[in-house]
Structure formats: structure tokens, C-alpha cells
């Protein structure tokens, strides 16, 4: 582990953009492009929104924990955890276009899967949800390897 940031906040919607910007700023020290940082920010906002909207049903008194870790210059791990209602059927929740709310697109997990190299979901109904995301950035400058 080279560096990490860990922070917790109540489940109010204003904190989605805070968490997104915070992890984006932290990711700036990685050897990656601005576009890749935008992807990291997107997955963080999807996961944090899920905790607030689904985990805590938009109630403001829940706690969301975010931890981002840089393992070396090219590997980042992000963990988002809530103690909300949890997910009964994780496989179904991760299917593209599945949502328990008919007004939503059901694409949050699909974005997380497509922009990250690894996605792990641990969840128990009544206990909460823990999402681990991992992304490895390719070495772009081949000369740097020489």
C-alpha cells in the first residue's frame, strides 16, 4: 500500500458529489489519464448514490464509508460501505437494467463493472452492503519500461 484516504459521511445526497470529487482528487496522483479519473469519479458516485438511495432509502441518518487505496502508481482499490437494508439477490441486482425502483435505469452496477477491472459485492439483508472496486491502469509510455 502506497497511500490511502478514508472518510465517512451521513447519507445526504450532497455528499455524492463530495465523495466523487474527493476520490477523483486523490486519484490524480496515479499514472493515469484525465478520462480515467472521470471514470473513477463516475463509479464512486454510482456506488455512493446506491448506498444513499437504496441502502438508506434516502433517509439522512445512515453512515457511508469510503476508502480509496493506491497500491502502486497504477493500481487503485475503492471500497464503499453502508449499513443499510442490504441486497437479497446480488446476482439479480447486478444484471444490466435491473432496478428495484421502476423509475431508475438499473445501470449503476453495469458502469462499475465496465469501468473497473474487478467488482466484488458483499451484502446481507438488514446488515448492509460492501462494494470493492479495483482498477489497474496500463503503462502507456512504453519508453518508460525501457
Ligand X SMILES: Nc1ncnc2c1ncn2[C@@H]1O[C@H](COP(=O)(O)OP(=O)(O)OP(=O)(O)O)[C@@H](O)[C@H]1O
Contact positions vs Mg ion (CB under 5 A): 50, 108
Residue showing the smallest CB distance to Mg ion in the complex: 108
**Residues near 33 by Cβ (< 8 Å), separated by ≥ 6?**
140
Q: Which is nearer to ligand X, 79 or 93 (CB)?
A: 93
Q: Which is nearer to ligand X, 11 or 27 (CB)?
A: 11
Residue 44 lies near ligand X (rule: CB under 6 A)? no
Q: Provide the terminal-to-terminal Cα distance of the chain, rounded to the nearest Å.
A: 25
Residue selected from 5, 42, 107, 122 as contacting ligand X according to rule CB under 6 A: 107
Residue selected from 12, 98, 119, 134 as contacting ligand X according to rule CB under 6 A: 98
Residues with catalytic function: 46, 50, 104
Amino acid at each position: 500500500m502506497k497511500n490511502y484516504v478514508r472518510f465517512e459521511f451521513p447519507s445526504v445526497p450532497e455528499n455524492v458529489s463530495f465523495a466523487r470529487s474527493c476520490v477523483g482528487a486523490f486519484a490524480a496522483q496515479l499514472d493515469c489519464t484525465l478520462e480515467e479519473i472521470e471514470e473513477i469519479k463516475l463509479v464512486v458516485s454510482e456506488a455512493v448514490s446506491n448506498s444513499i438511495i437504496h441502502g438508506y432509502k434516502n433517509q439522512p441518518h445512515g453512515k457511508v464509508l469510503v476508502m480509496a487505496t493506491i497500491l502502486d502508481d497504477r493500481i487503485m482499490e475503492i471500497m464503499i460501505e453502508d449499513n443499510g437494508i442490504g441486497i437479497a439477490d446480488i446476482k439479480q441486482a447486478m444484471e444490466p437494467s435491473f432496478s428495484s425502483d421502476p423509475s431508475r435505469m438499473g445501470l449503476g452496477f453495469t458502469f462499475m463493472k465496465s469501468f473497473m477491472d474487478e467488482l466484488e459485492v458483499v451484502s446481507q439483508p438488514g446488515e448492509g452492503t460492501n462494494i470493492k472496486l479495483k482498477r489497474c491502469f496500463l503503462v502507456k509510455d512504453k519508453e518508460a519500461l525501457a
